[in-house]
Amino acid sequence: DIQMTQSPSSLSASVGDRVTITCRASQGINNYLAWFQQKPGKAPKALIYGASSLQGGVPAKFSGSGSGTDFTLTISSLQPEDFATYYCQQYKSYPQTFGQGTKVEIK
């Protein structure tokens, strides 16, 4: 199975901050990587697919980059509604696997 290592596991940031989350795959996955946001008690909300393509309806403050084994999710200017847990997901091969999540909290 492909292991996904996400970092940091949590971070504290202020409104307006630029935030970067990284995800590393244990083997190359080309660009078969998605990012999603999850708030407590809610279903995941897809943000990015294909490592860098913005999901429809998702604001442009979210961006993704990377290919192969190393990927990043960037939030350009953190807003109150962005405080949540973020996960990466590889879909290059089955079983699909997920990072352990990054909880973004208010400083």
Binding site for another protein (CB under 8 A): 34, 36, 43-46, 49, 53, 55-56, 87, 89, 91, 94-101
Strands of the sheet containing 4-7, edge to edge, are 4-7, 19-25, 70-75, 62-67
Half-sphere exposure of 80 (CA within 13 A, CB side): 0
Considering the complex, what minimum distance in angstroms separates the CB of residue 69 from another protein? 19
- Strand-pairing partners, residue 72, are 22, 65
Contact 44, 69 (CB under 8 A): no
Least distance to another protein, CB of residue 104, Å:
15
Q: Which is nearer to another protein, 44 or 68 (CB)?
A: 44
For another protein, the closer CB: 16 or 95: 95
Q: How far is the CB of 12 from another protein (least distance, A)?
A: 20
